[in-house]
Each structure stands twice: as structure tokens, then as C-alpha cells.
Structure 1
């Protein structure tokens, strides 16, 4: 069993290592980007990466408090589904109304791998190898479709 302080420190160390690993990688538009805290610059649309005990995931989260607007934004993403999957080179899971860890209703488009553990440094390379190409592909996708979302929120 891990202590809370140990979990916090290990996760911080992982995300610092991930950030250092990704630092030399420019965005699709050629600029510097904080990959581990990617900003979409569209309200209530977030790119989320998680590294936990047992799994890692990456996804698009829409968390507008008005579920009707959340649904409209999700439907807008659905219109770009083929482009998204083509850019990623794989299909992701789509959930219109799910609950996040705080019980809030969110819509999620994500990919997840099981069997990795951020608490075990031996898993870090596998987690990074999972996250890196996907966040780069998300950035490429977003640079092409972002204008379609800017008037939504």
C-alpha cells in the first residue's frame, strides 16, 4: 500500500519526466507547448492524460455544466470522427454522458491501456510510449478543427 505523499511525489516525478521528454517536440503549428497541461483555448474542452495505478488514458473531455451544450459540442466532435480516428490511426471510445471522478457529468472521447502502474518506474516508458504519439496526434487534429469549436463556448 502506498502512502498519499508517496503517490503524490511519484506522480509529480512522472509528469515532470514526461514534460522533459516532450519539451523538444513542437506543436503541429511549430510553437512550444506544455504537453502535460495542453491548452485547447476553447472553454470547457480539455485534453486529459492520466497515469494511474493500473491504467493510463488520454482523451478529450467536454465538461460544460449545461448538458445540452455539452451534447452539441460532442455532436460537433462526432462530425470530425473520421478525421480524428484517421489522425490517431486508431478508434477511441466515445461516451456522451459519463461521470468523472467527482460525480460531474462529462462527455469523453478517450483511449486507455490497462496493466501499467505509474507507481512502478518500470512502467513509465510504456506509459510515455502510449501517451506521446497520441497527444501529438491530438494536437495535429486540433490544429485543423479548432476553428469549428471556437464559436461554441
Structure 2
């Protein structure tokens, strides 16, 4: 069992390592991007990467406080589902109006990697190999499809 400080240090070390590994990769638009804290530029739409004790996940999270508007964003993503899956090269799980860890209603489009732990250094290559192509694919998708979302916000 790790102390709070050790847990924080390990998480920070992983995300720093991931950031250093992916930093040389430019965005789809050719600019530098903070991959570990990706900014979509649309309020309430986030690309989230999470690594825990038993698994990892990457998601598009729609966190608009108005459930109706959140659903509109979700439906907009559904209209672009084929393009999203073409960029990702895989099918993700779609979840409308779920609860996040803080009890807030969010909608998510996500995939996960079970059986890995951020607390095992030997899992870090698998985690990096999981996150890197997916966040890059999300960026490529977003560079083409963000404009209708900007109009909705």
C-alpha cells in the first residue's frame, strides 16, 4: 500500500514520462500540444486519460451541466461515429448520462485497458502504447470535426 504522497509521486512520474515520450509528436494541425492535458477548445468537452491500480482508460467526456445540452453534444458525436471509429481504428463504448467519480452526470465515449497498473513500472510501456496512438487519433479526429461542436457551445 502506498501513502498519499507516494501515490501522487508515482502518478506524476508516469505522466511526466508519458509527456516526455509524446512531446515530439506534433498535433494534426502541425503545432505543439500538451498531450497529457489536451485542450479541445470547447467548454465541457474533454479528452481524458486515466491510469489506475487495475486498469487504464481514455475517453471523450461531455460534462455540460445541462443534461439536454449534454445529450445534444453526445448526438453530435454519434453523427460522426464512423469518422471517429475510422480515426481510432477500433470501436469504443458509448455511455449517455453516467455518473463520474464525483457524482456528476457526464456522457462518455471510451475504451480501456484492463490488467495494468500505473504502480508497476513494468506496465508503463503498455500504458504508453495504449494512450499514445489513441490520443493522437483523437487529435486527428478533432482537428477535422470540432467546428460543429464549437457552434453548439
Tell me if both proteins adopt one fold, taking TM over 0.5 as the criterion.
Answer: yes
Post-superposition, which runs of at least 4 consecutive aligned residues in structure 1 deviate over 4 A?
Answer: none
Question: Residue 105 of structure 1 aligns with which residue?
Answer: 105
Q: Secondary structure at the match of 1:149?
A: helix
Deviation at 1:2, TM superposition (A): 1.5
For this pair of structures, how many residues does the alignment match? 153
Quote the offset at 1:3 in angstroms: 1.2
Question: SS where residue 151 of structure 1 aligns?
Answer: helix
- For 1:3, the equivalent position in structure 2 comes to 3
- How far apart, in 1, do the equivalents of 2:95 and 2:47 lie? 15
- Provide the rounded CA distance (Å) in 2 between the counterparts of 1:121 and 1:99: 30
TM-score of the two chains, using structure 1 as the length reference: 0.99
Equivalent residue number for residue 16 of structure 1:
16
What is the rounded CA distance, in whole Å, between the counterparts of 2:128 and 2:98 in structure 1?
A: 26
* Pairing of 1:4-153 with structure 2 (within 5 A): 4-153=4-153
How far apart are residue 7 of structure 1 and its match?
0.6
TM-score (norm 2): 0.99
> Aligned partners of 2:3, 2:116: CA distance in 1, in Å?
19
Calculate the aligned-residue CA RMSD, in Å.
0.5
| Unmatched 5+ stretches in structure 2 | none
- CA offset at residue 23 of structure 1? 0.7
Q: Deviations over 1:9-66 (max 9, x none)?
A: 0000000000000110000010000000000000100000001110111010000000
Looking at structure 1, the residues matched to 143 and 151 of structure 2 have their Cα atoms a distance apart, in angstroms, of 15
Give the Cα–Cα distance (whole angstroms) in 1 for the partners of residues 6 and 114 of structure 2.
22
Q: Secondary structure at 2:145's aligned position in 1?
A: helix
Report the Cα distance in structure 2 between the residues aligned to 1:123 and 1:6, rounded to whole angstroms.
Answer: 17
Query: C-alpha separation between the residues in 2 aligned to 1:62 and 1:114?
Result: 23
Partners of 2:20 and 2:113 in 1: how far apart? 22
